[in-house]
Amino acid sequence: MVETQAMVPSTHTIRIAQLSDTHFIESGEPSEGGFSYDTDAAFEAVRDHLEQFYGDEPADLVVVTGDIADHGRPAQYQKAAAAFASFRSPINVCPGNHDQDVAFAAGMGRPTIGTSRAVELGSWCFLFVDSNAGSMIADADGRLVDPERYDDRLEANGSLGAREASWVKDMCATTTAEHVFIWLHHPPAPPAPLSFDNAYLAEWAALLADLPKVRGLGGGHTHVPDEYVFQGRPVFVCPSLKNNFDMTANTMLPPGARTYEFRPDGTIASETQLVEDARWPRHPLGRAVMSLLNGELSWEQFDAIVARKRA
Protein backbone atom coordinates (compact mmCIF):
# COMPACT_ATOMS: atom_id res chain seq x y z
CA MET A 1 0.00 0.00 0.00
CA VAL A 2 1.25 3.47 -0.92
CA GLU A 3 0.14 6.43 1.14
CA THR A 4 -0.10 9.53 -1.08
CA GLN A 5 -0.19 13.07 0.23
CA ALA A 6 -1.91 14.61 -2.79
CA MET A 7 -1.79 18.18 -1.48
CA VAL A 8 2.00 18.39 -1.83
CA PRO A 9 2.90 19.66 -5.33
CA SER A 10 5.70 17.98 -7.28
CA THR A 11 7.65 21.26 -7.25
CA HIS A 12 7.75 21.32 -3.44
CA THR A 13 10.98 20.65 -1.51
CA ILE A 14 10.14 17.98 1.08
CA ARG A 15 11.52 18.64 4.56
CA ILE A 16 11.93 15.60 6.79
CA ALA A 17 13.40 15.12 10.26
CA GLN A 18 14.84 11.71 11.12
CA LEU A 19 15.22 10.15 14.55
CA SER A 20 16.71 6.72 15.07
CA ASP A 21 17.60 4.38 17.90
CA THR A 22 15.36 6.10 20.44
CA HIS A 23 15.68 3.06 22.75
CA PHE A 24 12.79 3.97 25.04
CA ILE A 25 12.81 2.08 28.32
CA GLU A 26 10.60 1.80 31.38
CA SER A 27 11.44 4.24 34.17
CA GLY A 28 13.96 2.72 36.56
CA GLU A 29 14.85 -0.22 34.30
CA PRO A 30 18.45 -0.78 33.14
CA SER A 31 19.22 -0.31 29.47
CA GLU A 32 20.44 -3.12 27.25
CA GLY A 33 24.20 -3.09 27.72
CA GLY A 34 23.83 -0.91 30.83
CA PHE A 35 25.42 2.11 29.15
CA SER A 36 23.14 4.88 27.91
CA TYR A 37 21.92 8.44 28.22
CA ASP A 38 18.59 9.19 29.86
CA THR A 39 16.60 8.60 26.66
CA ASP A 40 13.51 10.40 28.00
CA ALA A 41 15.55 13.57 28.53
CA ALA A 42 17.38 13.05 25.25
CA PHE A 43 14.09 12.76 23.36
CA GLU A 44 12.70 15.95 24.86
CA ALA A 45 15.90 17.86 24.07
CA VAL A 46 16.05 16.59 20.48
CA ARG A 47 12.34 17.22 19.88
CA ASP A 48 12.63 20.78 21.22
CA HIS A 49 15.73 21.36 19.08
CA LEU A 50 13.86 20.21 15.96
CA GLU A 51 10.80 22.29 16.77
CA GLN A 52 13.03 25.35 17.12
CA PHE A 53 14.91 24.43 13.92
CA TYR A 54 11.71 24.31 11.86
CA GLY A 55 10.00 27.23 13.61
CA ASP A 56 6.51 28.15 12.43
CA GLU A 57 6.59 25.68 9.50
CA PRO A 58 6.84 22.12 10.87
CA ALA A 59 8.60 19.42 8.89
CA ASP A 60 6.51 17.63 6.29
CA LEU A 61 7.26 14.35 8.04
CA VAL A 62 9.21 12.93 10.97
CA VAL A 63 10.62 9.43 10.43
CA VAL A 64 12.01 7.06 13.07
CA THR A 65 14.26 4.35 11.69
CA GLY A 66 14.07 1.61 14.27
CA ASP A 67 15.25 0.50 17.68
CA ILE A 68 12.30 2.41 19.04
CA ALA A 69 12.19 0.24 22.18
CA ASP A 70 15.36 -0.85 23.95
CA HIS A 71 14.11 -4.40 24.62
CA GLY A 72 11.03 -4.54 22.36
CA ARG A 73 8.61 -4.65 25.31
CA PRO A 74 5.01 -3.33 25.17
CA ALA A 75 5.49 -0.74 27.94
CA GLN A 76 8.43 0.73 26.04
CA TYR A 77 6.27 1.24 22.95
CA GLN A 78 3.61 2.93 25.08
CA LYS A 79 6.23 5.42 26.22
CA ALA A 80 7.43 5.90 22.64
CA ALA A 81 3.90 6.49 21.36
CA ALA A 82 3.26 9.17 23.97
CA ALA A 83 6.53 10.88 23.07
CA PHE A 84 5.97 10.75 19.31
CA ALA A 85 2.50 12.27 19.72
CA SER A 86 4.16 15.49 20.91
CA PHE A 87 5.48 16.30 17.43
CA ARG A 88 3.55 18.82 15.33
CA SER A 89 4.41 16.89 12.16
CA PRO A 90 3.04 13.53 11.00
CA ILE A 91 5.34 10.66 11.97
CA ASN A 92 6.15 7.34 10.30
CA VAL A 93 8.27 4.54 11.76
CA CYS A 94 10.01 1.29 10.83
CA PRO A 95 11.54 -1.39 13.10
CA GLY A 96 15.11 -2.14 14.13
CA ASN A 97 16.91 -5.15 15.56
CA HIS A 98 16.00 -4.20 19.17
CA ASP A 99 12.29 -4.14 18.26
CA GLN A 100 10.15 -7.26 18.47
CA ASP A 101 7.74 -7.68 15.59
CA VAL A 102 4.41 -8.29 17.33
CA ALA A 103 5.00 -5.77 20.14
CA PHE A 104 6.16 -3.20 17.59
CA ALA A 105 3.05 -3.67 15.44
CA ALA A 106 0.74 -3.39 18.46
CA GLY A 107 2.55 -0.50 20.11
CA MET A 108 3.03 1.63 17.00
CA GLY A 109 -0.29 0.78 15.35
CA ARG A 110 -2.31 3.83 16.41
CA PRO A 111 -3.85 6.84 14.65
CA THR A 112 -1.09 9.25 15.68
CA ILE A 113 1.77 7.10 14.34
CA GLY A 114 2.19 5.86 10.78
CA THR A 115 3.63 2.48 9.93
CA SER A 116 3.16 2.83 6.16
CA ARG A 117 5.66 0.94 4.05
CA ALA A 118 5.58 3.58 1.29
CA VAL A 119 4.73 7.29 1.41
CA GLU A 120 4.56 9.55 -1.66
CA LEU A 121 5.23 13.25 -1.11
CA GLY A 122 5.59 15.58 -4.08
CA SER A 123 8.01 14.07 -6.59
CA TRP A 124 9.36 11.58 -4.03
CA CYS A 125 8.40 8.10 -2.90
CA PHE A 126 9.78 7.12 0.51
CA LEU A 127 10.09 3.40 1.13
CA PHE A 128 10.29 2.09 4.70
CA VAL A 129 12.29 -1.12 4.40
CA ASP A 130 12.46 -3.76 7.12
CA SER A 131 16.17 -4.52 7.24
CA ASN A 132 15.44 -7.31 9.75
CA ALA A 133 13.25 -9.25 7.30
CA GLY A 134 15.94 -11.74 6.33
CA SER A 135 16.36 -12.87 9.93
CA MET A 136 12.63 -13.62 10.32
CA ILE A 137 11.47 -17.23 10.06
CA ALA A 138 8.31 -18.79 8.63
CA ASP A 139 5.92 -20.33 11.17
CA ALA A 140 3.58 -23.28 10.55
CA ASP A 141 1.13 -20.99 8.75
CA GLY A 142 3.78 -19.43 6.52
CA ARG A 143 3.84 -16.12 8.38
CA LEU A 144 7.20 -14.46 8.96
CA VAL A 145 7.85 -14.15 12.69
CA ASP A 146 10.78 -13.26 14.93
CA PRO A 147 13.30 -16.04 15.58
CA GLU A 148 12.55 -17.91 18.79
CA ARG A 149 15.74 -16.61 20.41
CA TYR A 150 15.52 -12.80 20.68
CA ASP A 151 19.31 -12.43 20.55
CA ASP A 152 19.26 -13.87 17.01
CA ARG A 153 17.46 -10.67 15.98
CA LEU A 154 19.17 -8.35 18.45
CA GLU A 155 22.69 -9.24 17.34
CA ALA A 156 22.02 -9.09 13.58
CA ASN A 157 23.60 -6.39 11.38
CA GLY A 158 20.87 -6.48 8.76
CA SER A 159 19.41 -9.01 6.35
CA LEU A 160 16.84 -8.30 3.64
CA GLY A 161 15.92 -11.73 2.38
CA ALA A 162 14.30 -12.46 -0.98
CA ARG A 163 10.78 -11.25 -0.06
CA GLU A 164 11.87 -7.83 1.14
CA ALA A 165 14.23 -7.34 -1.80
CA SER A 166 11.41 -8.24 -4.21
CA TRP A 167 9.08 -5.82 -2.46
CA VAL A 168 11.58 -2.97 -2.89
CA LYS A 169 11.87 -3.78 -6.62
CA ASP A 170 8.09 -3.91 -7.01
CA MET A 171 7.58 -0.57 -5.26
CA CYS A 172 10.24 1.16 -7.35
CA ALA A 173 8.57 -0.17 -10.49
CA THR A 174 5.05 0.76 -9.35
CA THR A 175 5.42 4.27 -7.97
CA THR A 176 4.85 7.15 -10.38
CA ALA A 177 7.15 9.38 -8.30
CA GLU A 178 10.31 10.48 -10.08
CA HIS A 179 12.60 9.80 -7.14
CA VAL A 180 12.81 7.10 -4.47
CA PHE A 181 14.50 7.32 -1.08
CA ILE A 182 14.86 4.34 1.24
CA TRP A 183 14.49 4.51 5.02
CA LEU A 184 15.76 1.51 6.97
CA HIS A 185 17.41 0.64 10.26
CA HIS A 186 20.66 -0.98 9.10
CA PRO A 187 22.64 1.14 6.60
CA PRO A 188 24.57 -1.03 4.12
CA ALA A 189 28.37 -1.00 4.30
CA PRO A 190 28.79 1.57 7.09
CA PRO A 191 32.34 2.72 7.87
CA ALA A 192 31.80 1.62 11.50
CA PRO A 193 33.46 -1.86 11.54
CA LEU A 194 31.25 -3.29 14.32
CA SER A 195 28.15 -2.84 12.12
CA PHE A 196 29.67 -4.02 8.82
CA ASP A 197 28.31 -7.22 7.28
CA ASN A 198 29.51 -8.56 3.93
CA ALA A 199 26.40 -10.61 3.17
CA TYR A 200 24.13 -7.63 3.82
CA LEU A 201 26.37 -5.42 1.66
CA ALA A 202 26.06 -7.93 -1.18
CA GLU A 203 22.25 -7.93 -0.93
CA TRP A 204 22.09 -4.16 -1.35
CA ALA A 205 24.77 -4.04 -4.05
CA ALA A 206 22.78 -6.48 -6.18
CA LEU A 207 19.47 -4.73 -5.47
CA LEU A 208 20.54 -1.15 -6.14
CA ALA A 209 22.15 -2.09 -9.44
CA ASP A 210 18.63 -2.53 -10.87
CA LEU A 211 16.99 0.50 -9.22
CA PRO A 212 17.96 3.74 -10.99
CA LYS A 213 15.18 5.71 -9.26
CA VAL A 214 16.76 5.28 -5.82
CA ARG A 215 18.54 8.53 -4.89
CA GLY A 216 19.78 7.58 -1.43
CA LEU A 217 19.25 5.78 1.86
CA GLY A 218 18.81 6.89 5.47
CA GLY A 219 19.42 4.65 8.46
CA GLY A 220 20.68 4.42 12.03
CA HIS A 221 21.88 1.38 14.02
CA THR A 222 25.59 2.26 14.29
CA HIS A 223 25.29 5.12 16.83
CA VAL A 224 28.01 6.76 14.73
CA PRO A 225 26.53 9.74 12.81
CA ASP A 226 27.88 9.62 9.30
CA GLU A 227 27.41 10.27 5.60
CA TYR A 228 29.08 8.20 2.89
CA VAL A 229 28.51 6.93 -0.66
CA PHE A 230 27.45 3.39 -1.52
CA GLN A 231 26.79 2.22 -5.08
CA GLY A 232 26.84 5.85 -6.18
CA ARG A 233 24.14 6.89 -3.70
CA PRO A 234 24.51 8.91 -0.51
CA VAL A 235 23.85 7.04 2.72
CA PHE A 236 22.97 9.11 5.77
CA VAL A 237 23.36 7.69 9.28
CA CYS A 238 21.33 9.31 12.04
CA PRO A 239 22.54 9.80 15.60
CA SER A 240 20.89 7.90 18.44
CA LEU A 241 19.17 9.03 21.61
CA LYS A 242 20.89 6.26 23.62
CA ASN A 243 24.60 7.00 23.06
CA ASN A 244 26.71 8.24 20.15
CA PHE A 245 30.36 7.92 19.22
CA ASP A 246 32.86 10.02 17.26
CA MET A 247 35.34 7.50 15.92
CA THR A 248 37.64 10.20 14.56
CA ALA A 249 38.02 12.16 17.78
CA ASN A 250 37.49 9.00 19.91
CA THR A 251 34.87 10.70 22.08
CA MET A 252 31.24 10.38 23.04
CA LEU A 253 28.74 12.59 21.20
CA PRO A 254 25.49 14.13 22.48
CA PRO A 255 22.10 12.82 21.29
CA GLY A 256 20.67 14.16 18.07
CA ALA A 257 18.74 13.75 14.83
CA ARG A 258 19.09 14.48 11.10
CA THR A 259 17.28 17.01 8.96
CA TYR A 260 16.72 16.62 5.22
CA GLU A 261 15.62 18.56 2.17
CA PHE A 262 14.43 16.42 -0.73
CA ARG A 263 14.39 18.64 -3.79
CA PRO A 264 12.25 18.24 -6.92
CA ASP A 265 15.36 17.63 -9.07
CA GLY A 266 16.25 14.50 -7.05
CA THR A 267 19.07 16.02 -5.00
CA ILE A 268 19.22 15.70 -1.21
CA ALA A 269 20.67 17.97 1.46
CA SER A 270 21.05 16.63 5.00
CA GLU A 271 22.58 17.85 8.25
CA THR A 272 23.34 16.12 11.53
CA GLN A 273 21.68 17.93 14.45
CA LEU A 274 23.43 17.27 17.78
CA VAL A 275 22.10 18.79 21.01
CA GLU A 276 25.13 20.22 22.78
CA ASP A 277 24.42 20.24 26.50
CA ALA A 278 26.34 19.79 29.75
CA ARG A 279 24.31 16.63 30.36
CA TRP A 280 26.08 14.92 27.45
CA PRO A 281 29.78 15.86 27.50
CA ARG A 282 32.17 14.62 24.84
CA HIS A 283 34.08 12.31 27.15
CA PRO A 284 37.05 10.41 25.67
CA LEU A 285 36.27 6.80 24.81
CA GLY A 286 38.09 4.06 26.71
CA ARG A 287 40.31 1.53 25.01
CA ALA A 288 37.75 -1.28 25.34
CA VAL A 289 34.97 0.81 23.77
CA MET A 290 37.19 1.77 20.84
CA SER A 291 38.22 -1.87 20.37
CA LEU A 292 34.55 -2.86 20.33
CA LEU A 293 33.57 -0.18 17.80
CA ASN A 294 36.50 -1.13 15.59
CA GLY A 295 35.43 -4.77 15.58
CA GLU A 296 38.47 -5.94 17.54
CA LEU A 297 36.33 -7.16 20.47
CA SER A 298 33.06 -9.09 20.37
CA TRP A 299 30.13 -8.01 22.53
CA GLU A 300 30.75 -11.04 24.75
CA GLN A 301 34.38 -10.04 25.30
CA PHE A 302 33.39 -6.42 25.94
CA ASP A 303 30.70 -7.44 28.47
CA ALA A 304 33.24 -9.62 30.26
CA ILE A 305 35.65 -6.66 30.56
CA VAL A 306 32.85 -4.42 31.91
CA ALA A 307 31.84 -7.09 34.43
CA ARG A 308 35.44 -7.43 35.67
CA LYS A 309 35.76 -3.66 36.11
CA ARG A 310 32.51 -3.47 38.04
CA ALA A 311 33.56 -6.33 40.29
Q: Quick: pLDDT tens for 161-220.
A: 999 999 999 999 999 999 999 999 999 999 988 888 999 999 999 999 999 999 999 999
- Would residue 302 count as lying in a domain? no
Which residues form the domain of 56? 2-284
The Cβ of residue 206 has, within 10 Å, a number of other Cβ atoms equal to: 12
Q: Cα–Cα distance between 144 and 162 in angstroms, integer? A: 12
Q: In total, how many domains does the chain have?
A: 1
- Would residue 45 count as lying in a domain? yes
Q: Cα–Cα distance between 132 and 99 in angstroms, integer? A: 10
Q: Cα–Cα distance between 266 and 277 in angstroms, integer? A: 35
Q: Which helix (H) or strand (E) holds 92?
A: strand 91-94
- Would residue 251 count as lying in a domain? yes
Q: Cα–Cα distance between 141 and 263 in angstroms, integer? A: 44
Query: How large is the C-alpha radius of gyration of the chain?
Result: 19
Instruction: State yes or no: pLDDT of 134 exceeds 70.
Output: yes
Question: Using 50, 70 and 90 to split pLDDT, how confident is the model at 7?
Answer: low
- Would residue 209 count as lying in a domain? yes
Q: Are strands 137-138 and 144-145 parallel, antiparallel or unpaired?
A: antiparallel
- DSSP-derived secondary structure for 1-61: -EEEETTS-TTSPEEEEEE----B--TTPPPTTS----HHHHHHHHHHHHHHHHTTS--SE
**What pLDDT does 5 receive?**
47
Question: Using 50, 70 and 90 to split pLDDT, how confident is the model at 117?
Answer: very high
**What pLDDT does 224 receive?**
96
**What pLDDT does 260 receive?**
98
- 37-92 tens-digit pLDDT: 999 999 999 999 999 999 999 999 999 999 999 999 999 999 999 999 999 999 99
- Would residue 162 count as lying in a domain? yes
- Would residue 306 count as lying in a domain? no
- Would residue 19 count as lying in a domain? yes
- 226-284 tens-digit pLDDT: 999 999 999 999 999 999 999 999 999 999 999 999 999 999 999 999 999 999 999 99
- Would residue 99 count as lying in a domain? yes
